[in-house]
Structures are given as C-alpha cells and as structure tokens.
C-alpha cells in the first residue's frame, strides 16, 4: 500500500497538484495514523494534507477516485452456461478418467492463472492485475500508443504463456473447460486494457499537458486559433505563477553577502584575531521600479490580452509598478490591475482604451504631459507594442527623453524582426533609444523577456 500511495503522489502531480517531498512525508505520516481500511477517511486525509486551494482539492479528489477505482474483470460465461449444471456432472467420469491417466484432476494440473480464472474469484483477479501492473511499471506510461505494450507486459507478468499452454492442452482433452477458460481470458484482457487506460489517464496527463504547452509556448501569439485562446490564457497564468514563485517581492531577511576578511580581522584584533565578530560585504541593490506601457490597439488585439496578463503578474512580483495602456491615447491602469482579477481588469481596460487606431505619437505626448515625473534613474521602462503608428508623427523625441530619464528602456515587439521598418512600422527609429529590443512573438519569448527584466532586481 505504501507503494500505491507513492504512485498516487505521482498521479496527483500529473493532475496539476503541487506535492513537495515535505508534503508527501506529512501525508504519509497522516495516513499511517488513520490507516487504509476506510477509503473515505483515507481520501479526506490526503485532501487535507496535500490540497492548498479549492481547485487543487477538486483535482485531487478526482485523481483519488480514478486512482483507487480498480477495474474488475467481467465474468463472462460461454454459451450454454445457463443450462442445467448436471451436464458438468455427466462429463465428470470422462474428466476423472483423463485425470486418472495423468495422476490428478484437470484443474489441479493447470497453472496458477488458469486456476484463478476458472475459480472466478474477482478479488484475487483484481489483486493479481494490480500486482502485475506494478511489476510492469505501468506508472511509466506516457503516450496512448503504449497501451498495447503495457497490456502485453501485464499479461506476461500474470503468466499468459503458461495459460496458453494450458488452453492447448485442454482443447484436446476437455473442450468445454477450455471454452470456459478462453472466455475468462477474454474478460481478463478487457480488464487489463481498462487498467492500462486508467494508468494512461493518471500518469500520462502531465506528459500530454507538457507536450501541448510546449507547442503553445512556441506558437505565434498573433496566430492563435479561437479554440486555443483558453489554453493559451491558462499557459500565461502558469507563466505568471512561475514568475511570482521565482521572484517574490523583497524579502524581509537580507542576504548576508560575502565575508569581509579585512574588516573581520580589524574588528577582532583585541581577541588576537579570533573572529568572534564577523563583517559581511553586502551588495547594494536599487529598489525596483517598473513603468509598463502596453499597446492595446486593434493591430495587436490578438496579443494584448497576453501582454496585460503578464503586466498583471508584475504587480504581484514587484512592489513599485505603474502600468499604462494606450491606442490613440494613453491612460494609467495601475489601480485596475491592482484591485481586480486578470480577467476583470483586462475587460475594463479594453473597454476604456482597447481596439482603437494606434497613435504612438499622441500616446507618448500624453505620457510626457501627465506622467513623466514617474521616471527616475532607477526606473525600467517596458514598452509592449508593434510600433505601428499609422503613418502619424511617431514623436521619437519623447521616447529619447524617456530613455534619458530612466535606468533603461526595454521594447518588446510581437512582430517578427523582418517586419520592422516596413509599412508604418517605426521600430528602427524607436530602437535607437532603447537599451534592449526583443521580439516577443511567442509565450516562451515573452516569459524569458519578463523574467530577465525582473531578475536584474534580485
């Protein structure tokens, strides 16, 4: 049972529940207290010790129900099984005669698997399937194409080869018994297939999700199909969660830094150089300040939602963040992102300023007029947009002044580099005043860019 619990932890991770080694140890201790006899108590114990949110509780409950619902082999009888059982009695002399010739009854000469199937003991069969599944390492299944391989492994571990020999022998000596055994074998094959399907649902979910996420992470954001929008938003949520976990807000405890040998020796001169009192070198880090300008015009409508989701995560990672959204004019959206959920914030921002005709020059004028004082030598300015200004004045001079007043200016463009400078794109002109210019056409590129920006403050 302990091995089953460890396999359950693995299945829970595949279902999206974060189970750390420490949490698994706590869960095992709790299970040792309540025991395994009552499945309801066991389920509640695992949910209490492992689930950390309502979503995880639901996912863990479904995983538990699926994991501990062992498929049972169906008891199928061959044709004529409903007839009077006295027919078997009539055949007993011939069977006994055959047994006398061989020194015993036919069933006693059969292998363990054949005897178990003919006895129709469901509990024994289910236990044998579970044991064989463990021996076949069913928890290693990852793809649906592996169903046949693992089904064969389980059947081989149960003794299929000996069963085939028994069938060949019974076919010649006792056809009726051979027919019963063949029907039981068909039911066993179906039960094994159900067990493998259950294992695939439990253990391959994480691999399938990772494969789907890898495809989405490298798919152009502007070309995401309508059916993939929900999956992409879920992926962006995962990226935002990783950013929160990796780069939390400033810690209460400062890192001590490196030992300052000179200061330590001077401070302890009175004790003959014995380092009772230590001195540490601490590297000064500026308090992070970020100003984000997000283009939500019609030309980037496909990716603006994802931009806003990442900006929303910045507010949970960095203390001092001011966010702005613009199309033909610019407004501050910091309060909206701070106070509301990502979905509600995006809907309100897009209703106020989204889907308009982009005018970078007018938006930069609005920023210089009302918000230029937000910039300091410690501020990192992030611009997320395609730099297409509909052939209007781009006001690159304002961007130059923004760059001069800030620590650095980072531009993240969802378009491919080959499109920069063509048509109404002002990217080459703007790039002159940027510290960093990066293409962010995919979720992976967007995560790396934002991660690199936040990492500089750690």
pLDDT at 385: 92
> Cβ(183)–Cβ(161) under 8 Å?
no
CB atoms within 10 A of CB 150: 21
Tokens of 27: 């869960």
Bridge partners for 322 per DSSP: 291
Other Cβ atoms within 10 Å of 71 Cβ, number: 17
Helix, strand, coil fractions of the chain, as percent rounded to 5: 65, 10, 30
Sign of the dihedral through C-alpha 371, 377, 380, 384: positive
**Is residue 149 a contact partner of residue 143, using CB atoms and an 8 Å limit?**
no
Long-range interactions of 345-348: CB distance < 8 A, separation 24+: 345/308, 345/312, 346/305, 346/308, 346/309
pLDDT digits (tens, 9 = 90+) for 101-156: 344 455 667 888 888 888 888 888 888 888 888 888 887 887 778 889 999 999 99
pTM metric for this prediction: 0.56
pLDDT of 206: 65
- At residue 71, the pLDDT reads 52
Q: CB within 8 A of 85, min separation 6: which ones?
A: none
User: What is the phi/psi pair of residue 443, to 5°?
Assistant: -65, -35
pLDDT at 247 (0 to 100): 60
Q: What angle do CA 242, 246, 250 make, to 5 degrees?
A: 130
* Measured distance CA(19)–CA(21) in Å, rounded: 7
Report the run of H or E that residue 412 belongs to, with start and end: strand 408-413
- Hunting for tokens 């108590």 — which residue is that? 41
Residue in this structure with the two tokens 């066993």, named with its chain if needed: 188
Give the dihedral of Cα atoms 436, 440, 446, 448; nearest 10 deg.
-50
**List of the chain residues with pLDDT < 50:** 72-104, 249-254
Q: Rounded CA gap, 297 and 19, in Å?
A: 41
**pLDDT, position 244:** 66
Q: Which residues lie closer than 8 Å to 67 by C-beta, 6 or more apart? A: 7, 8, 11, 202
Give the C-alpha distances (Å, rounded to integers) separating 326 from 47, 57, 289, 298.
45, 40, 20, 11
Q: Quote the Cα angle for 428-320-410, to 5°.
A: 10
8 A C-beta contact, residue 188 and residue 270: no
Cα separation, 449 vs 455, in Å, equals 10
DSSP states of 198-246 = HHHHHHSHHHHHHHHHHHHHTSBGGG--GGGHHHHHHHHHHHHHHHHHH
From 1.10.287.110, 3.30.70.270, 3.40.50.410, 3.40.50.300, which CATH number describes the 289-455 domain?
3.40.50.410
pLDDT at position 259 is: 78
Percent of the chain with pLDDT strictly greater than 70: 83
Q: What does the alpha-carbon distance between residue 437 and residue 435 come to, in Å, rounded to a whole number?
A: 7
Give 42's contacts (C-beta < 8 A, 6+ positions apart).
31, 34, 35, 36
Q: For residue 424, how many other CB atoms are within 10 A of its CB?
A: 15
Which pLDDT value is given to residue 288?
64
């Amino acid at each position: 049972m302990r091995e089953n619990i460890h396999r359950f932890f693995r299945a829970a991770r595949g279902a999206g529940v974060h189970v750390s080694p420490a949490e698994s140890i706590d869960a095992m201790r709790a299970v040792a207290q309540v025991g395994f006899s009552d499945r309801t108590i066991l389920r509640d114990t695992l949910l209490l010790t492992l689930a950390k949110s309502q979503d995880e509780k639901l996912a863990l409950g479904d995983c538990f129900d699926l994991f501990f619902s062992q498929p049972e082999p169906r008891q199928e009888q061959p044709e004529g099984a409903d007839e009077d059982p006295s027919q078997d009695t009539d055949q007993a002399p011939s069977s006994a005669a055959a047994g006398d010739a061989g020194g015993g009854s036919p069933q006693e000469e059969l292998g363990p698997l054949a005897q178990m199937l003919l006895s129709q003991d469901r509990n024994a069969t289910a236990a044998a399937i579970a044991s064989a599944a463990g021996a076949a390492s069913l928890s290693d299944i990852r793809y649906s194409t592996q169903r046949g391989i693992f089904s064969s492994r389980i059947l081989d571990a149960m003794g299929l080869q000996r069963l085939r020999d028994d069938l060949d022998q019974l076919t010649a000596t006792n056809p009726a018994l051979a027919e019963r055994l063949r029907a039981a074998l068909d039911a066993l094959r179906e039960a094994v297939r159900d067990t493998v399907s259950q294992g695939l649902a439990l253990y391959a979910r994480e691999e399938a999700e990772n494969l789907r996420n890898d495809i989405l992470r490298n798919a152009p954001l502007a070309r995401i199909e309508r059916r993939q929008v929900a999956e992409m938003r879920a992926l962006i949520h995962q990226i935002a969660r990783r950013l929160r976990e990796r780069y939390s807000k400033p810690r209460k405890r400062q890192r001590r830094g490196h030992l300052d040998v000179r200061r330590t020796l001077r401070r302890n001169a009175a004790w003959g150089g014995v380092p009772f009192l230590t001195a540490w070198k601490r590297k000064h880090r500026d308090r992070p300040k970020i100003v984000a300008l997000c283009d939500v015009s019609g030309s980037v409508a496909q990716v603006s939602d994802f931009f806003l989701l990442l900006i929303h995560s910045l507010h949970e990672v960095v203390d001092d963040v001011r966010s702005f959204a613009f199309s033909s004019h610019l407004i501050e959206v910091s309060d909206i992102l701070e106070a509301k959920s990502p979905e509600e914030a995006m809907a309100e921002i897009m209703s106020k300023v989204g889907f308009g005709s982009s005018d970078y020059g007018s938006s930069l004028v609005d920023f210089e007029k009302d918000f230029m004082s937000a910039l300091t030598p410690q501020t990192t300015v992030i611009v997320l947009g395609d730099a297409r200004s509909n052939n209007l004045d781009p006001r690159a001079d304002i961007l130059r002044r923004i760059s001069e007043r800030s620590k650095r200016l980072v531009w993240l463009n969802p378009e491919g580099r080959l499109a920069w400078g063509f048509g109404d794109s002002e990217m080459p002109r703007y790039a002159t005043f940027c510290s960093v210019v990066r293409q962010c056409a995919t979720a992976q590129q967007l995560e790396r860019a934002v991660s690199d920006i936040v990492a500089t403050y750690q």
